[in-house]
């Protein structure tokens, strides 16, 4: 699985950037020296556990904590009665970074402890005790009486006139201006488009709730020193977590320190604070001692967030030659009872089309909360629309690659050019690798027990530039230090920053030390979300390095104990163009017609992520993202009992997360480009590999069996039902 690189014209080789570089913290990570949040031990530290709602919707009429308090070792108990803090970024942000302005206007407040509770797993109380077992035992001594309320689980059902109201205003999720409005995008006129079409197709697709499932179990450690709070927590954004904590607790930012040095995976919605951080802080204050709050895997599944499930109704108008005339999407996203993130459904922007109408409605439900997970609105939407288009191509008896090449985006929303355009090259290169022309056959050609299929999907994904900070220092010996507010969620950002700094400073990587993951020692960083760290903070590193080199040129290296310091705060923009990363995925499957088993037999990815800074970690990103996408396509689902509203499959076992045995060898080629933006032309990467994967798998299964499984995940029961329906 060694990475292949296919350099394009215009990418000049560099000295340190672009060479395979092992992670600078690899040894600490694999020898157990790396201190993850849950490794933090403080003198006198207490352990905390959370009591969670067993009901999907209920009013708490009383909480009696007296028996729990009486248990020896219990030091503090908080509930909605005595420990309620607004958790701003837990709701209402609707895809925006939480801010003072949003806090002012919101009517949908989410607290650390809410009454009524609105999903199974919502925190009701928390206990800090001298040890874990005492804390857990104390939870079972808390007596809560609930007035059980009616609940609703599915987004379309939640919009029915007689559906139980989760908020007084109704179940249509409000945006960050309190407006209960769907997200609408229009160009042209779809009704005219349908009239001008030779064929009009419509179909419904759906995707399931898929949990981020990062390896590291969640925990938070809070310590007060007078009015100063230190919080150790697995966050992808120490800077944003700090501002969130300060705002929610009503204390100045300078009084909050956030530390996150090592993480076992991010995968979304961690560029902020979490309720666990606030609960730990409130308990630590109440107990007068440091508190470590730990979540079990099950609590993480039901209590935090995962990818929002969607229902997508498409109507597509097309001419006889396969040219798109109109695209209409009516989408519904299940958000749980709080709007932790946007609930958007991406995909219509992938096609050239004069008439497009996308109306996506995020809906409150009494399931667990939906949030960002690696390409928040993309894998769902790309699955839906690219399955739909694949079906349209099949109905027109067209090769799907011909359909894509005819209709795929060439300019952003058909009017703004891209900074560079390599989508066609990605597709053609992948077609060559899988020998598409020779090997592709129309859907359902195989009739035997083993049915082979080949599927394709493609992606274009935002790769914008933007503000971040870095500080560069040098001492008398010529040792360089780079301070960046990244936390290294697992993608290798620390190494990436070191490599970029070494290149910019024209020194070997060994001369550069990276300081990261602590608001006390690092400047603001945009945070590791949205595939932005390399582009934005990496660019700030170059700017800081350049500024430092100017100082060195002017003054020489400092003498004695002196240190030269340069900082940067660039805020670059792209003018008159849209910056995207591009890619194409090709999936081959073998479906056993008698058992419904789907086996991915080959998986090929081709990506333009701009210049590759470190081929080793870049490949890992592609392999990891594609693997998650295959898991979303074939396996994972948080199944709910429809009668009780209780989630039945929380955790790695129940949700059928892929094991190493299930993982497929991902073949991966980079088409390197340099459009002049970002650090040495690097583009976004972290989400690129995930977003087209479910569509590629869906199209491969369709090609194999000749029937579309329209609802993810494509499990054995659905495959057998599809095949049975055809027989």
By CB under 8 A, tell whether 717 contacts another protein.
yes
Task: From 78-86, 391-399, 595-603, 608-616, give the range in contact with another protein by CB under 8 A.
Answer: 595-603
Strand pairing report for 46-52 and 291-294: parallel
> For residues 113 and 124, what is the distance between their CA atoms, to the nearest angstrom?
6
Residue from 68, 129, 633, 658 touching another protein (CB under 8 A): that is 658
Residue that is written with structure tokens 């090997």 in the block: 439
Render 309-374 in DSSP notation, one character per residue. Answer: PEEEEEEEEE-TT--EEEEEEEEEEE-TTS--S------GGGB--S-EEEEEEEE--SSSPEE--S
Name the minimum Å distance from CB 657 to another protein: 8
By CB under 8 A, tell whether 642 contacts another protein.
yes
Task: From 216-224, 579-587, 680-688, 709-717, give the range in contact with another protein by CB under 8 A.
Answer: 709-717
Cβ atoms of 596 and 717 within 8 Å: the answer is yes
Residue from 644, 665, 676, 726 touching another protein (CB under 8 A): that is 644
> For residues 271 and 407, what is the distance between their CA atoms, to the nearest angstrom?
36
Nearer CB in complex with another protein: 554/717: 717
By CB under 8 A, tell whether 143 contacts another protein.
no
DSSP secondary structure letter of residue 24: T
Residue from 70, 659, 676, 726 touching another protein (CB under 8 A): that is 659
> For residues 601 and 4, what is the distance between their CA atoms, to the nearest angstrom?
19
Strand pairing report for 480-483 and 470-474: antiparallel
By CB under 8 A, tell whether 137 contacts another protein.
yes
Residue from 81, 136, 216, 414 touching another protein (CB under 8 A): that is 136
By CB under 8 A, tell whether 12 contacts another protein.
no
Backbone angles phi, psi at 588, to 5 degrees: -115, 135
Nearer CB in complex with another protein: 174/666: 666
By CB under 8 A, tell whether 73 contacts another protein.
no
Name the minimum Å distance from CB 404 to another protein: 31
Nearer CB in complex with another protein: 153/278: 153
Residue from 286, 359, 616, 721 touching another protein (CB under 8 A): that is 721
Backbone angles phi, psi at 567, to 5 degrees: -125, 160
* Length of the chain, in residues: 727
Q: Judge if the upstream peptide bond of residue 116 is cis by omega within 30 degrees of 0.
A: yes
Residue from 26, 27, 184, 648 touching another protein (CB under 8 A): that is 648
By CB under 8 A, tell whether 577 contacts another protein.
no
Name the minimum Å distance from CB 659 to another protein: 5
By CB under 8 A, tell whether 715 contacts another protein.
yes
Burial class from Cβ neighbours inside 10 Å (0-12, 13-18, 19+) for residue 27 reads exposed
At 595 the three-state DSSP class reads coil
By CB under 8 A, tell whether 716 contacts another protein.
yes
By CB under 8 A, tell whether 202 contacts another protein.
no
Nearer CB in complex with another protein: 136/425: 136
Name the minimum Å distance from CB 284 to another protein: 24
At 75 the three-state DSSP class reads strand
DSSP secondary structure letter of residue 405: H
Task: From 353-361, 438-446, 589-597, 670-678, give the range in contact with another protein by CB under 8 A.
Answer: 589-597
Q: How many CA atoms lie within 13 A of 558 on its CB side?
A: 16
> For residues 587 and 280, what is the distance between their CA atoms, to the nearest angstrom?
45
By CB under 8 A, tell whether 597 contacts another protein.
yes
> For residues 296 and 302, what is the distance between their CA atoms, to the nearest angstrom?
10
Nearest alpha-carbon partner for 11 in 683, 690, 465 = 683
> For residues 278 and 80, what is the distance between their CA atoms, to the nearest angstrom?
13
Q: What is the CA radius of gyration of the chain?
A: 26
Name the minimum Å distance from CB 371 to another protein: 23
By CB under 8 A, tell whether 22 contacts another protein.
no
Nearer CB in complex with another protein: 477/643: 643
Contacts with 606 (C-beta within 8 Å, 6 or more apart), sequence order: 426, 427, 429, 430, 433, 583, 584, 585, 668, 669, 670, 671
At 511 the three-state DSSP class reads helix
By CB under 8 A, tell whether 191 contacts another protein.
no
Name the minimum Å distance from CB 120 to another protein: 10
Name the minimum Å distance from CB 64 to another protein: 20
Nearer CB in complex with another protein: 140/177: 140
By CB under 8 A, tell whether 653 contacts another protein.
yes
Task: From 170-178, 253-261, 652-660, 675-683, give the range in contact with another protein by CB under 8 A.
Answer: 652-660
Nearest alpha-carbon partner for 56 in 655, 654, 640, 653 = 640
Nearer CB in complex with another protein: 134/703: 134
Nearer CB in complex with another protein: 570/654: 654
Cβ atoms of 385 and 347 within 8 Å: the answer is yes
Name the minimum Å distance from CB 519 to another protein: 35
Nearest alpha-carbon partner for 719 in 640, 649, 628, 635 = 635
Residue from 20, 22, 508, 724 touching another protein (CB under 8 A): that is 724
Task: From 133-141, 327-335, 410-418, 606-614, give the range in contact with another protein by CB under 8 A.
Answer: 133-141
**What residue ranges bind another protein (CB under 8 A)?**
133, 136-137, 140, 592, 594-597, 635, 639-644, 646-649, 653-654, 656, 658-662, 715-717, 720-721, 724
């Amino acid at each position: 699985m060694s990475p292949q690189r296919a350099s394009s014209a215009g990418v000049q080789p560099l000295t340190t950037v672009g060479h395979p570089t092992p992670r600078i913290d690899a040894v600490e990570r694999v020898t157990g020296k790396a201190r993850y949040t849950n490794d933090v031990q403080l003198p006198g530290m207490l352990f905390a556990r959370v009591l969670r709602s067993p009901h999907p919707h209920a009013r708490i009429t009383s909480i009696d904590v007296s028996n729990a308090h009486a248990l020896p070792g219990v030091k503090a108990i908080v509930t909605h009665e005595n420990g309620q803090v607004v958790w701003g970024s837990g709701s209402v942000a609707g895809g925006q970074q939480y801010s003072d302005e949003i806090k002012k206007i919101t009517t949908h407040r989410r607290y650390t402890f809410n009454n009524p509770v609105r999903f199974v797993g919502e925190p009701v109380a928390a206990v800090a005790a001298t040890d874990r077992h005492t804390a857990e035992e104390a939870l079972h001594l808390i007596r809560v009486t609930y007035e059980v309320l009616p609940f609703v689980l599915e987004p379309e059902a939640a919009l029915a006139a007689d559906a139980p109201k989760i908020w007084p205003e109704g179940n249509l999720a409000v945006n960050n201006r309190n407006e209960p409005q769907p997200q609408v995008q229009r160009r042209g006129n779809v009704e005219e488009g349908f009239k001008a079409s030779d064929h009009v197709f419509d179909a419904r697709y759906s995707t399931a709730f898929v949990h981020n499932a990062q390896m590291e179990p969640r925990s938070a450690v809070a310590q007060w020193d007078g009015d100063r709070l230190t919080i150790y927590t697995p966050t992808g954004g120490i800077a944003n977590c700090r501002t969130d904590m300060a705002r929610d607790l009503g204390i100045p930012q300078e009084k909050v320190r956030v530390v996150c040095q090592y993480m076992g995976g991010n995968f979304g919605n961690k560029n902020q604070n979490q309720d666990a951080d606030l609960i730990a802080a409130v308990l630590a204050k109440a107990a007068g001692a440091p508190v470590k709050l730990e979540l079990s895997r099950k609590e993480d599944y039901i209590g935090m967030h995962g990818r929002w499930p969607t229902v997508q109704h498409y109507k597509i108008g097309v001419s006889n030659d396969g040219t798109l005339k109109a695209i209409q999407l009516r989408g519904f996203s299940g958000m749980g009872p709080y709007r932790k993130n946007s609930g958007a459904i991406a995909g219509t922007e992938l096609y050239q089309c004069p008439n497009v109408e996308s109306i996506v409605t995020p809906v409150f439900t009494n399931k667990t909360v939906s949030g960002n997970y690696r390409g928040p609105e993309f894998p769902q939407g790309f699955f839906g629309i690219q399955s739909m288009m694949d079906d349209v191509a099949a109905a027109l008896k067209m090769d799907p690659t011909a359909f894509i090449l005819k209709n795929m985006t060439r300019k952003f929303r058909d009017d703004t050019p891209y900074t560079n355009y390599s989508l066609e090259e990605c597709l053609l290169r992948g077609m060559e690798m899988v020998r598409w022309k020779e090997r592709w056959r129309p859907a359902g050609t195989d009739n035997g027990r083993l049915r082979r299929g080949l599927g394709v999907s493609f992606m274009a994904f935002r790769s914008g530039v933007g503000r971040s900070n870095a500080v560069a220092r040098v001492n008398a010996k010529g040792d360089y230090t780079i301070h960046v507010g990244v936390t290294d969620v697992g993608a290798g950002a620390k190494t990436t920053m070191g490599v970029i700094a070494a290149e910019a400073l024209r020194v070997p990587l060994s001369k550069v030390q990276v300081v990261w993951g602590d608001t006390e020692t690092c400047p603001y960083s945009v945070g590791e979300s949205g595939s932005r760290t390399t582009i934005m903070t990496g660019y700030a590193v170059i700017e800081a390095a350049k500024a430092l080199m100017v100082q060195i040129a002017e003054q020489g290296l400092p003498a004695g104990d002196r240190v030269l310091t340069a900082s940067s705060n660039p805020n670059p923009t792209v003018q008159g163009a849209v910056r995207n990363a591009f890619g194409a995925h090709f999936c081959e499957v073998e479906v056993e017609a008698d058992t419904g088993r789907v086996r991915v037999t080959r998986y090929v990815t081709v990506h333009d992520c701009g210049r590759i800074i470190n081929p080793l970690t870049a490949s890992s990103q592609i392999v990891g993202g594609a693997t998650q996408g295959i898991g979303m396509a074939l396996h994972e689902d948080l199944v709910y009992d429809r009668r009780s509203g209780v989630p039945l499959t929380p955790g790695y076992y129940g949700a059928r997360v892929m094991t190493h045995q299930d993982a497929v060898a991902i073949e991966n080629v980079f088409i390197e480009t340099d459009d002049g933006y970002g650090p040495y032309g690097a583009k976004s990467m972290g989400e690129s590999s995930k977003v087209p994967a479910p569509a590629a798998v869906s199209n491969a299964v369709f090609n194999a069996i000749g029937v579309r499984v329209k609802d993810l995940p494509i499990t054995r029961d659905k495959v057998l039902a599809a095949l049975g329906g055809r027989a």
